[in-house]
Structure 1
Amino acid sequence: MDLVRATTDERVLRTLMEHRRLTRAELAVLIGISKPTAGESVRRLTEAGLIADTGVRTPGGRGRGRVGSYFGLAENIGTALAVSIAPDGVVAEAVDAYGDVVGRSEREISRPVHPDEVADGVSSVVAKICGSVATPLLAVVSAADPVDRITGRLVHLPDSPFLVGDLDPVELLAPHVAGPVVVDNDVNWAAQAEHAHADGPLDDFAYLYLGEGLGLALVNDGEVRRGATGLAGEIAHLITDGPGSRAMPLTDVFAGLGLHRPGSSAIDVDRLLLTAGHDHGLRQALARAISGVLAAVVALADPTTVVIGGPWGTDPAILAAVRDAFERARRHVPIRPAATIVQPSLAGARADATHRLRSAVVAAAHRTEHL
């Protein structure tokens, strides 16, 4: 009986998360349970403080039946944080169990990046959010650096363009949330956003990010594959076809083409786009280098599709050149531009935070069942 009640309560909660407010009768119809069963579940969840009467009533009387009460999630049920740490700044959002953004704060980061400034930025935007929303139950962090999948710390790799020291997002955010802090790199989150918003099945693909930095996410059976330590997809040092048909690490291609920012391994995106727009030779050089990387990815990971994102990866002229070059490879797969182009890593982190928050609310209902 406890299992039946717990299952019913979970279905009621998840249905309310989807539809926002419903009457007992509407819940019964949508879930496929009896009205008394729906009513008992509503009573239990209300007593547990997880849902509440919204105060809105259905029309009643004059042959239209009894007045019904609309129920929704309790206002103090909790929120989740989605945090993005990127070269252009730190952004923190609070989301509720409906998936709505109920708070947002951001702070720019100066160049060159100073680790202490980044840590202060993360702490300040999160503190500002937490002062205005219900208690965050968890946090999900996107970082534009490699991430150790065990500890959540950022990892130093040679020529990484956005090194922020020995930053530990878990330690920074733990005082602000009641539960876990989940950290992953920005390209993995962008790939998850692409998977979630794909127009049709997209369960096995490679997501190539081309921006100030270079990254790749591998998605297999709908899951991002991170590797033993979380560093799968770090492609900057993959050997490819460079200027003058010389074999070299991918990151050295941009140095050879004069496309790095002064004193940095970060790619100068504005200069790249400006030059590639009228320089056919540069577009071809970029296309050959990217095609060489994709050939290795296809040989090793066997994706059905390659999705290319990032501020210059989705440029139509560059994308067309990469397609043409890659089609000449012995093994190739279709290439398409990313569908999520506005802060894709934050979008992925936000979606994951919402999913985890909903699961936390359901878990709270299960705990109540056993009291």
Structure 2
Amino acid sequence: MTRPPQTLIENQEQLPQSLAAVSDRLFFNHLLHHGPDSRANIAATVGLSRPTASEAAQRLSAAGLIISAQRPAELVPVKRGRTPDFYDINSTYGHTLAIAAASGRARVRTQDLRGGVLKEFSQELPEDMTGSELEEALRLLAKQAVRATGNRCLAATALQGNPVNPVSQRAIELPNTPFPEGLGDLVSVLRTVCDGPVRLDNDVNWATLAEHQVGGASGMDDVVLFYIGPGVGAGIVMSGTVQRGQRGTAGELGYLRYSGRSLMSHLLEFGVASPGGERLDVERTKELFMASPPGDGAQRFVDALASAMGNIATFLDPRALVISGPFSRCGEFMDMLRDALNPHFLDGELEVVVSALDEDAPLLGAGLAATELAYEQIWATYRS
């Protein structure tokens, strides 16, 4: 079970609310973090009187958010006396949904309010799909997931490989994009299965959120994640918040220019382009690092990346750099990258870590965001 990050729940406590709503949320949040528990223990743990806890339990039960739960066998009293009331989150109240459409594959996942995965479906995406064909494929996949989950969708998120305008929630088609998937209207797909709040973002931003909340950068307020795969990109966390920029194009690493050319054009000049010529062929690129010792092409490839990454690190001064994507699992590449990055670090102590979340990070981050949206919606419409 994936516990909801504490910050996602604590942030909600900043909203104006009645004293009854405060009690209800303390009661509910305790169950989110700790699982089924007795009313008496919840009252003692969160600092409520027993009558106040009892009233909170009644209101939350009436709203359908919690239910009476079976007591664990080891807690059933042997002697006579009143058996304590146990409660848990109502698993049938609703779920969240996250859709991933990137790198030629679609995945749809539903989760409960604790972040536990309920259902997941996937299918391959042909490279020649039109935007409307993509939308229809994702719509059918999302409907299948919601139908299999069996209750209403409270909030939904989606991700794809292109940058997303945070205001319009539309994918931005950049010149020579290496990711043709996701240019359809994914928000409209979400709205066909979810009446609650929906949000679209690109895969690197969602991966960065996951790394910051539950991954190797957990507890770090200033972090830069670099994705190195068929395309290259960056996700930025400053003061604990993922930064997307005014138009949503912050972190588009491949478009940084030097010597009059983009970084991606420099990387592709080593004969490692995939068919079509706009993205890296991962396996062919890894072959650059398989020679012993790696040749001049490998060193120049790494130096080009390290120059761009090092300049970003110098400018932003993060606590750590997180390296993700298929190249992060190539030991020879990572050794050369660390060596090439060292001269760019002003104090020589910037931590470089490999993502522990691997390829699941973007969908995991989208799922975390959907859970947060669900909490916001629950309490925005809750009447104590």
Give the structure-2-normalised TM-score: 0.88
Shift, 1:113, TM fit: 4.6
Question: Is the 2:102–2:181 contact (alpha carbons within 8 Å) kept by the matching residues of 1?
Answer: no
What is the alpha-carbon root mean square deviation over aligned residues? 2.0
Tell me the distance in 1 between the aligned counterparts of 2:331 and 2:182. 35
2:262 maps to amino acid: P
Question: Is the 1:84–1:90 contact (alpha carbons within 8 Å) kept by the matching residues of 2?
Answer: yes
Shift, 1:166, TM fit: 4.2
Q: Secondary structure at the match of 2:121?
A: strand
Shift, 1:161, TM fit: 0.8
248-257 vs 123-132, which moves further: 248-257
The runs of 5 or more residues in structure 2 that have no matched partner are: 1-16
Question: Is the 1:214–1:236 contact (alpha carbons within 8 Å) kept by the matching residues of 2?
Answer: yes
2:107 maps to amino acid: V
1:285 maps to amino acid: R
Instruction: Give the match for residue 133 of structure 2.
Output: 117
Among 268, 274, 290, the residue aligned to 1:277: 290
Q: Tell me if 1:230 matches 2:245.
A: no
Q: Tell me if 1:211 matches 2:224.
A: no
Shift, 1:299, TM fit: 3.5
Cα deviation 1:39-86 (Å, max 9, x = unaligned): 1111111122221112447513526x4212321122331111111111
Q: Secondary structure at the match of 2:233?
A: strand
Instruction: Give the match for residue 10 of structure 2.
Output: none
Instruction: Give the match for residue 6 of structure 1.
Output: 21
Question: Is the 1:92–1:125 contact (alpha carbons within 8 Å) kept by the matching residues of 2?
Answer: yes
Shift, 1:346, TM fit: 0.7
Shift, 1:126, TM fit: 0.4
224-233 vs 117-126, which moves further: 117-126
Shift, 1:100, TM fit: 0.7
Question: Is the 2:97–2:370 contact (alpha carbons within 8 Å) kept by the matching residues of 1?
Answer: yes
Tell me the distance in 2 between the aligned counterparts of 1:29 and 1:353. 31
Shift, 1:10, TM fit: 0.5
Instruction: Give the match for residue 275 of structure 2.
Output: 262
Instruction: Give the match for residue 193 of structure 1.
Output: 210
Instruction: Give the match for residue 8 of structure 2.
Output: none
Instruction: Give the match for residue 345 of structure 1.
Output: 362
The runs of 5 or more residues in structure 1 that have no matched partner are: 241-245
Shift, 1:112, TM fit: 4.1
Q: Secondary structure at the match of 1:306?
A: strand
Q: Secondary structure at the match of 1:131?
A: helix
Tell me the distance in 1 between the aligned counterparts of 2:352 and 2:70. 51
Instruction: Give the match for residue 3 of structure 2.
Output: none
Question: Is the 1:109–1:117 contact (alpha carbons within 8 Å) kept by the matching residues of 2?
Answer: no
Question: Is the 1:314–1:338 contact (alpha carbons within 8 Å) kept by the matching residues of 2?
Answer: no
Tell me the distance in 2 between the aligned counterparts of 1:69 and 1:354. 27
Cα deviation 1:237-277 (Å, max 9, x = unaligned): 2125xxxxx66321112321111112131211111123322
Question: Is the 1:95–1:353 contact (alpha carbons within 8 Å) kept by the matching residues of 2?
Answer: no
Instruction: Give the match for residue 121 of structure 2.
Output: 105
Q: Secondary structure at the match of 1:327?
A: helix
Tell me the distance in 2 between the aligned counterparts of 1:258 and 1:117. 32
1:126 maps to amino acid: A
Question: Is the 1:13–1:362 contact (alpha carbons within 8 Å) kept by the matching residues of 2?
Answer: no
Shift, 1:314, TM fit: 3.9
Instruction: Give the match for residue 31 of structure 1.
Output: 46
Q: Secondary structure at the match of 2:58?
A: helix
Tell me the distance in 2 between the aligned counterparts of 1:138 and 1:129. 14
Give the structure-1-normalised TM-score: 0.91
Q: Secondary structure at the match of 2:148?
A: coil
